[in-house]
Amino acid sequence: MSGKQLAEIKVSSLPKIGDKRAELFHKIGIYNLFDLLYYFPRRYEDRRFVEGLDGVTTGEQVTVFGRIISVEEVKLRRNMSLLRVVIQGNFGSCTALWFNQPFLKRSLHRGLPIAVTGKLERNLYGCEISVNDYEAGSLKNPVHVGRIVPIYSSTENLSQRFLRRIIYQCVRKHANNIRNHLPEELIRELNLMPISQAIMEIHFPRDEDSLVRARESLVYEELFLFQTGLNRIHEKVRSQGVARRPQTTLPEEFLKKLPYALTKAQQKAMTEIRNDLSSRKRMYRLLQGDVGCGKTVVALYALLYVVASGFQGALMAPTEVLAEQHFLSISKLVSGLGVNVDILTGSLGKKEKEQSLQSIKSGMTDIVVGTHALLEDDVVFNHLGLVVIDEQHRFGVQQRDLLLNKAAAPDVLVMTATPIPRSLTLTVYGDLDLTIINELPPGRKKIKTFFLPAKEKSRVYSFVRKELEAGRQVYVVCPLIQESEHFAVEAAVKRYEELCREFSGFNVGLIHGKLKIDEKEGVMDAFRRGEVDLLVATSVIEVGIDVTNASVIIIEGVERFGLSQLHQLRGRVGRGTQESYCVLVGNPNTREAIERIKIMVNCHDGFQVAEKDLALRGPGELLGIKQHGYSDFRVVDIINDLPHFLKMKKYNYLTKIDQHDLWEEINFRFPSLFNVLKI
Ligand code: ADP
Ligand code: MG
């Protein structure tokens, strides 16, 4: 049977499971037989029989097997009783103790075969075992003792013994019928087990080695299905493309006009992108590079390449400030090249919005920069050819789909500054091709990073004053208040007033999310032009703001920010050639917050920061996988099984995909994967 067929058998149809019990199973996520067979133990207990007690340390858990010699009930204090059962077997003899289970007396009698497991104590009476679990009567196929026993996560009213018994029965009855999707070659090459055996062994392992092999086999089964699915998607997606053929020299003119030389890494990225765009294959590429490495100009090149080929391009950013920033810098970079750039954000006036929409629809607009306002139904493109998505992980998968669906098969470029492990990009984005910019523009200096306790924050003022006097600019980022932008704004206003007094000889500006778009733009413009010396901001400046003359960023309430966010913020400075500083101010009082600060102070490479963040927080939070509801893996751990991921990538099973049932199984096991591109 395939997984899909197993899933058609509901738990409620199993013997001994009525509606009430079925509900308990639902509580732990088991709805059907597939769920049950793939409900793996949380841990295991070694309850194999010992041959003798001599080698067992007092206090250790031990399991023995023998016959009952005597049963004695001892009344302790009120309502308390103790059952003392002497057991003799090849191991020797011992007394098994049960507390407060007098009813057991009825089922235990002299001569009955019994196995008990529990903690061993030694005293005047000899060896005693406080029974933790037992089995009596016919012990031909013990489930709870006499083996390495699985311990499952359970829920109230669903006993470990009952759950284990049900799983045992199902495994015995059905494991043999599970269809094996693992290719023979792979089983041989990696010394795996066929899946039916692996399922049996992961629940009731013969020994430690076969447990390891069983898990690995299941990991590879899952990876095989996943990888095969990705290959199919890869093929399909890539086959839908349009070869872009520039009709003008726009892309080259643009490059000639750039005020700086491209880094090698940027050039390589552009080449890869150009190859994608000009081929019949559809581009589906992730552009990854640390903050400040110059992704924007690469993306713009891609956009112009597509524009020159007679299509429109769209760039979607996660926040209005960032969209505006992109709009301005792009407009500047393409000025004089005859390219029409428009902006579309939620806070655009009605008339302006109408104009933008009209221009996009008529095809007048070559490049539109926007926020998720681009996703709305009334945004209709004339001939959209390329979608660039900046800081991707802030968008949900569905949101991205909305944009991609605005054209037949647009090329896609996703930009991110968060270097995430390959296994994660696969699971979160599907199989994007990867371009990495691993080089910063020349002349950048390390951003010196310091920490100051909140009560000493005025100590930084004289330093700030010196920088301001030298003509540099400074950011002060106010504490992040996630629950309410209102409070965040209030706090920022207060801080702004304080700093106005403190630095009365300089121009202090304020920017936050509640400002109107033209107000924000006004403040940012003034900061860019150097008219504002010190800019107080809420975390709206987190991504993408680009002012090369800024040399100091002070981040207050540092304990409230995540590591990636801090690294992004720090990247707002160090964009010019001068020495730059990041001062972290706050009251970190958790181990994690202190750890984050240490990492920031010692670590300047975005890749390392991200890796540490991943270790600290786990992938769910880092990438918002939880919010976006992604993780179809039941066995694979997307962090720890990375080596297996990489190994699996070596095997290419494209040919096997024609089997219909395999394809069906992949769809069943990885539903989210197939939503990614609506295949
Ligand atoms: P990010 O990758 O973080 O989005 P940006 O694209 O915002 O980085 O670029 C950061 C800054 O570096 C911008 O001011 C940009 O003009 C500048 N820049 C980009 N490429 C180069 C280069 N090759 N040489 C010098 N400066 C560059
Ligand atoms: Mg950027």
Residue 289 Cα: closest atom of ligand 1: 2
Higher pLDDT residue, 158 or 663?
Answer: 158
Read off the pLDDT of each residue in 483-492 and give the average, rounded to a whole number. Answer: 77
Asked whether the predicted pLDDT for residue 202 surpasses 90, the reply is: yes
**Residue owning the nearest CA to atom 14 of ligand 1:** 546
Band of residue 2 on the pLDDT scale cut at 50, 70, 90: confident
| Residue closest by Cα to atom 12 of ligand 1 | 294
Question: Residue 341 is encoded by which pair of tokens?
Answer: 């750039």
Comparing 320-324, 363-367, 501-505, which segment has the lowest mean pLDDT?
A: 320-324
C-alpha of residue 266 to centroid of ligand 1, in Å: 10
Q: Report the range of poorest mean pLDDT among 122-131, 232-241, 253-262, 572-581.
A: 232-241
Considering only residues 466 and 545, tell me which one the structure prediction assigns the higher pLDDT.
466
Report DSSP state, residue 435.
E
What is the whole-number distance in angstroms between the Cα of residue 437 and the centre of ligand 2?
Answer: 12
pLDDT digits (tens, 9 = 90+) for 547-600: 889 999 999 999 988 887 888 889 889 877 789 999 999 999 898 899 999 999
Q: Quick check: helix, strand or coil at residue 304? A: helix
Using CA atoms in the order 368, 281, 404, 317, what is the torsion angle rounded to 10 degrees? -50
Return the percentage of the chain with pLDDT > 70, whole number. 89
291 Cα–ligand 2 center, Å:
7
Residue 675 has pLDDT above 90, yes or no: no
Delineate the domains of the chain, giving CATH numbers in brackets.
48-146 (2.40.50.140), 180-239+649-679 (no CATH), 250-437 (3.40.50.300), 448-603 (3.40.50.300)
CA distance 27 to 25: 5
Mean pLDDT within 92-99? 95
DSSP structure class, residue 32: B
Predicted confidence (pLDDT) per residue in 38-66, tens digit:
999 999 999 999 999 988 999 999 999 99
- Under the banding of pLDDT at 50, 70 and 90, the label for residue 194 is very high
Pocket probe for ligand 1: among 264, 266, 267, 296, the residue whose CB has the most ligand atoms within 8 Å is 296
Which atom of ligand 1 sits closest to the CA of residue 443? 25
68-82, 200-214, 303-317, 380-394: which range is least confident on average? 380-394
Instruction: Enter the pTM of the model.
Output: 0.69
**What number does the ligand 1 atom closest to the CA of 295 have?**
2
Lowest mean pLDDT among 405-409, 558-562, 616-620: 616-620
Across 372-376, 385-389, 418-422, which has the greatest mean pLDDT?
385-389
Q: Which amino acid is at 381?
A: F
The ligand minimizing its distance to the Cα of 571 is: 1
Label residue 30 by pLDDT band (50, 70, 90): very high
167-181, 358-372, 472-486, 502-516: which has the minimum mean pLDDT?
472-486
The first and second tokens of residue 569, run together, are 């913020």
Distance 661 CA to ligand 2 centre (A): 44
pLDDT band at 629, cuts 50/70/90? very low
Using most ligand atoms within 8 A of CB, pick from 291, 293, 439 the residue to mutate for ligand 1: 293
Structure tokens at 634: 């039941």
Residues, beta carbon < 5 Å, ion ligand 2: 544
Starting from the CA of residue 389, give the closest ligand: 2
Q: Where do the H-state alpha helices sit in 470-562?
A: 485-502, 517-529
Protein residue closest via CA to atom 5 of ligand 1: 294
pLDDT of residue 75: 86
573 torsion bin: left (phi>0), alpha (psi -120 to 50), beta (else):
beta
Q: Which is more confidently placed, 574 or 249?
A: 249
207: helix, strand or coil? coil
* CA dist., res. 515 & res. 228, Å (int): 49
Smallest CA separation from ligand 1 atom 4, residue: 295
Q: What distance in angstroms lies between residue 67's CA and the mean position of ligand 2's atoms? A: 74
Q: Which two tokens stand for residue 395?
A: 């968008």
Task: Return contacts of 620-623, CB within 8 angstroms, 24+ apart.
Answer: 621/562, 622/418, 622/420, 622/562, 622/564, 623/393, 623/418, 623/420, 623/424, 623/428
Query: For the residues 125-129, what does the mean pLDDT come to?
Result: 90
Read off the tokens for 226. Answer: 């996943």
Residue 393's pLDDT is 56
Using alpha carbons, select from 84, 104, 103 the residue that is nearest to residue 94: 84
Task: Name which residue sits closest to atom 20 of ligand 1, judged by CA.
Answer: 294
Closest CA to 30 of 18, 41, 19, 38: 38
What is the CA(568)–ligand 2 centre distance, in A? 10
* Mean pLDDT for all residues in the chain: 87
| Of 38-52, 257-271, 627-641, the least confident | 627-641
Q: Can you give the pLDDT at residue 592?
A: 87
- For residue 528, report the distance from its CA to the centre of ligand 1, in Å: 15
Residues with CB under 6 A from ligand 1: 260-263, 266, 289, 291-297, 417, 441, 546, 548, 575
Hey, which of 575, 577, 609 would you mutate to test ligand 1's pocket, going by the most ligand atoms within 8 Å of its Cβ?
575
pLDDT at 238 over 70: yes
Output the CA 296–ligand 1 centroid distance in Å.
Answer: 7
Q: 195, 187 in Cβ contact below 8 A?
A: no
In this structure, which residue's CA is closest to atom 1 in ligand 1? 292
Look at 459 and 231; give whichever has higher pLDDT. 459
